[in-house]
Amino acid sequence: MARFRNKKRKVFVKPVAKRKQPSVDHMTGDKIPKSFVFSRGKLPNSLRQLQMDLRKLMLPYTALNLKEKRRNNLKDFLNVAGPMGVTHFLMLSKTETAPYLRVARTPQGPTLTFKINEYSLAVDITRSQVRPRCPQDLFKSSPLIVLSGFGTGEQHLKLATVMFQNIFPAIDINTIKLSSCQRIVLLNYNKETKLIDFRHYSIRLQPVGVSRRIRKFVQNRQLPDLRTLQDVSDFVTKAGYGSESEADDEAATVSLPSDIGRVNRTSTKSAVKLQEIGPRMTLQLMKVEEGLCSGGVIYSEYGNRMEKKQEEQEQEDGDGDGGNEGEREGEGEGEEVEEEEDMMED
């Protein structure tokens, strides 16, 4: 007789439904900004890692695992950005002279082009710290943003201020939860050097007047090793109350409106501590365009340099021959500027 094979029963596995991110803030009713971080052209490994660090910085409202190919152009990203509610693009590129970062508002601009003079990766900053700190829930909420030195009244700085403010979700101080304020992005503009210091910190609260040993005991919920001590009071007094928390300035201490965790209570004061988590960049605003990587140029650092040099040459050279030499130098510099801008756009 023929044998009948027993058919294997297929086990039904219920698919895990992915939680869809909200597009509108339920508290303020404003549209939540979302972003894409991608590259234009070939990047070295260090800039690839900087791209991943920027994606982590923009969490949770960004595509962390965005797949991009060489044949993808800007129009392909725009076609995907519309249905997904993406409002901003952060594009990294590299020329022979320096790397560049372009921040653009979709779909019609404007576009801000920054030259990256210096940068440090998050891995480098972590290695330089004695006690690096990166909790699991650190990137579950968007960072706060603080702008310093941008109130000079110049038009291109006003555009940069509005762009950076709108790239992160707005907050309402009356309804925001203090537990969601885990990170902060600081941008400081130096008026003399025209450079922007870009820093990314994690926010940490510590109770004032509590030793580090007691604080760790309350947070970890683990029984301490008391074998070498004669009394429980030795465990409390060994570290002493002259801890690092009490050495803080009075301006760095706050009174909390609600309890946060097991240590920070409303009845006691807490010290606010910032720890850098990276990435770190030094940016220089080079150009502002009306459209999305196109359109009229609102501001150009190259144009300002040429105008200043021409004015200086006109003041120094009163003769006609000197003016002709200045015009030749200005034409040569203009050709170099156009070549560098073409390389950056490619």
* Residues facing 62 on adjacent strands: 35
Name the pLDDT band for 105 (thresholds 50, 70, 90): very high
Residue 150 structure tokens: 């941008």
- Residue pair 138/89 in contact (Cβ under 8 Å)? The answer is no
pLDDT in tens, 190-207: 999 999 999 999 998 877
Q: According to the model, what pLDDT value does residue 269 have?
A: 78
Per the listing, tokens 């290695």 go with 127
Mean pLDDT of 162-175: 89
pLDDT band of residue 247 (cuts 50, 70, 90) is very low
- pTM across the whole model: 0.75
Among 275, 256, 260, smallest CA distance to 186 is for 275
Residue located via tokens 């201020």: 161
Lowest mean pLDDT among 1-5, 57-61, 250-254, 282-286: 1-5
